[in-house]
Amino acid sequence: MNQKALRGSLLLLLGAVIWGAAFAAQRIGMDHVQPFTFTGVRMLLAGLVMIPASYLARKKSGAESTPERRRDQRKGGILCGILLFTATSLQQVGLVYTSAGKAGFITALYVVLVPVAAWLLFRKQPGRVIWAAVGLAVVALYLLCMPAEGFQVEKGDAMLLGCAVCFTGQILCVDHYAPRVDGFTLARDEFLITGVLGMAVALVTEEIRPEGLLEAIIPILYAGILSGAVGYTIQIVGQRAVNPTVASLIMCMESVFAVLTGAVLLGERMTLREGLGCVLMFAAVILAQLSTLIRGKKQERQ
């Protein structure tokens, strides 16, 4: 594995840690504010944080701003923003109607949908080893997130399936635009689009209470700055050098870190079933990384 791919993989792993801890923030935040309000405020906050960051990044890189680059920047920000808004909104609303465990499993189906969509849309064949890693990841997610009594259909399941589809589109969209544009500016535009759409829907459908926002300030700050500005920027920068299927496998480890942070911060204990899920998830990611290493060595010999 080359140095860029390794650095990208480590960045995506850091993003998974941040997102894993964010599930608690999202659940706590909705005790005080409604779903679209939470999504809108956290994403606007993330976008505001990224405005000075994107300016400094562009100034430091000195990259020339061509008409084609600006066009890709606008188009990428709009498309990624719409997909991220739809995904996060469906997830936030879906959490109202179904269990967190089932929500984590259904949302993380993007680990399967990404290679399937990449193959169907772009004819990108990930290889047999990656498909095996995907299978391991699915089993791991089931053990981590699903109750032992089995799958039971609830009202929010369709919303969370739609969320998984939209996250698949967002990952592929980032994979397409991140190498062509400035990553920090792409993240800024993505967050601002998501935040504006979220607040627009909230103003029409929800009651926005200042006291509720104040009570939810800690979850909003975490979800906006760390999970939003830091986490999704890490995704954009990290995906530049990482295969989108491998990236989706690493990012879906957020479910593992959700279990671990719950144990550390909330005193929750992992069952044997959850522990096995963690082991299988780590195995899936290692298998995916070995696949890219083997493929890279083959290309060097050719």
pLDDT band at 150 (very low <50, low <70, confident <90, very high): low
Q: Answer yes or no: is pLDDT of 299 > 60.
A: no
Q: How confident is the model at residue 154 (pLDDT cuts 50, 70, 90)?
A: low
CA distance linking residue 280 with residue 223, whole number of Å: 28
* Res 295: pLDDT: 59
Report pLDDT digits (tens) over 45-56: 999 998 998 888
Predicted structure pTM score: 0.76
CA distance 80 to 194: 9
Q: Burial, 120: exposed, middle or buried (Cβ in 10 Å; 0-12, 13-18, 19+)?
A: exposed
pLDDT at 102 (0 to 100): 64
Binning pLDDT at 50, 70 and 90, where does residue 84 land? very high
Q: Do residues 108 and 142 lie in contact, with contact meaning Cβ atoms separated by under 8 Å?
A: no
Q: What is the pLDDT of residue 266?
A: 60
pLDDT score for 118: 77
Q: In whole numbers, what is the pLDDT of the chain averaged over residues? A: 81
The Cα–Cα gap between 22 and 223 comes to: 6
Place of tokens 């089932």: 102
pLDDT for the residue numbered 41: 94
Predicted pLDDT at 37: 94
Give the number of domains in the chain.
1
Residues in the chain: 302
Per-residue pLDDT, 100: 62
For residue 130, the enclosing domain spans: 3-301
- Tell me what pLDDT residue 187 has: 87
Residue 294 pLDDT: 59
pLDDT the model gives residue 117: 81
DSSP alpha helices (H): ranges in the chain? 3-29, 35-61, 67-97, 100-107, 110-122, 128-145, 157-177, 183-205, 210-215, 217-221, 231-238, 244-251, 254-266, 272-301
**What's the whole-number mean pLDDT along residues 19-39?**
84
Q: Name the range with the highest mean pLDDT among 52-66, 86-100, 152-166, 201-215.
A: 201-215
What mean pLDDT do residues 253-263 have?
A: 73
Q: What is the mean pLDDT of residues 118-146?
A: 76
Residues 6+ apart with CB under 8 A from 43: 84, 85, 88, 191, 192, 194, 195, 198, 224, 228
Residue 99 in this model has a pLDDT that exceeds 60: yes
Can you give the pLDDT at residue 265? 64
Q: With CA atoms as reference, report the closest residue to 147 among 87, 86, 100, 112.
A: 100
Cα–chain center distance at 89: 13
- Scored b (16 or more CB within 10 A) or e, 75-99 reads bbbebbbbbbbbbbbbbbbbbeebe
Q: Model confidence at 129, in pLDDT bands (50, 70, 90)?
A: confident
Q: How many CA atoms lie within 13 A of 181 on its CB side?
A: 29
Q: Could you tell me what percent of the chain has a pLDDT over 70?
A: 83
